[in-house]
Amino acid sequence: MLLEVQSLSVRYGRVHAVRGVSLAVAEGEVVAVLGANGAGKSSLLKGILGLVPAQEGTITLGGRDLTGRATRERIAAGLALVPEGRRIVMSLSVEENLLMGAYGRRDTAAVRAEIARLYERFPNLAARRHLSASVLSGGEQQMLAIARGVLARPRLMLLDEPSLGLSPLLVQELFRLLAELNRDGLALLLVEQNTRQALRASARAYVMELGTIVTQDRPQALLSDERLVAAYLGGGHR
């Protein structure tokens, strides 16, 4: 198993955002985490990456214990996060934003070659490589955020609401890109409110409510449970 999270708990003061969550992602697997706003999905990703301290629980990646490790060490071990809202640095150029993804790398020639390949995959970014990231559309910003994450050479990419604010056409393009990255061998842990798209893209899914996992299963099994769909998966019909 690539990622194993056991009994993870995250608190913000008195708020218990994640309560004893356990999940796993295999090598090359796409796994979705679904649930309503406030379910604890984003806090779960932040806890896995170490952006917020875990009160309890363990996190291992490829058999390496990352519990208590700094975020930079978790990134070096093979984790990358595409955060909600993209978090592009608008004052920097497109290429400077990409280089931020490779900040911890020292193989300069390989980084340049990978950026060139990313420009082939994202011609809109290539055309604007020297312009401020502020000129990009929402969809282009999301592609930039994903490309920036790819340059960290992760084994597992964590994605927090990647389709948020995108048009239906761009959502389709986004999920095609994620499928391409997965075919290249990248494992994905996907937090997404567009439940139908997320389930179509995933091999397995976990459903969260109030900081806990309430169920997990294959997408088809989740969608065949009418009570589950009504309680947790409604509204993902886009």
SS3 11: strand
The pTM (predicted TM-score) of the whole model is 0.90
pLDDT in tens, the chain (238 residues): 999 999 999 999 888 999 999 999 999 999 999 998 889 999 999 999 999 999 999 999 999 999 999 999 999 999 999 998 788 999 999 999 999 988 878 899 999 999 999 999 899 999 999 999 999 998 899 999 999 999 999 999 999 999 988 889 889 989 999 999 999 999 999 999 888 899 999 999 999 999 999 999 999 999 888 888 887 776 444 3
Calculated CA dihedral for residues 44, 45, 51, 52, nearest 10 degrees:
0
The percent of the chain in helix, strand and coil, each rounded to the nearest 5, is: 40, 25, 35
- E-strand ranges in the chain read 3-12, 15-25, 30-34, 54-61, 64-65, 79-82, 156-160, 187-191, 204-209, 212-217
Domains of the chain are 3-233 (3.40.50.300)
> Exposed, middle or buried by CB within 10 Å (0-12, 13-18, 19+), for 229?
middle
**CB contact at 8 A, 232 and 34:** yes
Residue 188: how many other CB atoms lie within 10 Å: 24
- State the pLDDT at residue 234: 64
- State the pLDDT at residue 225: 84
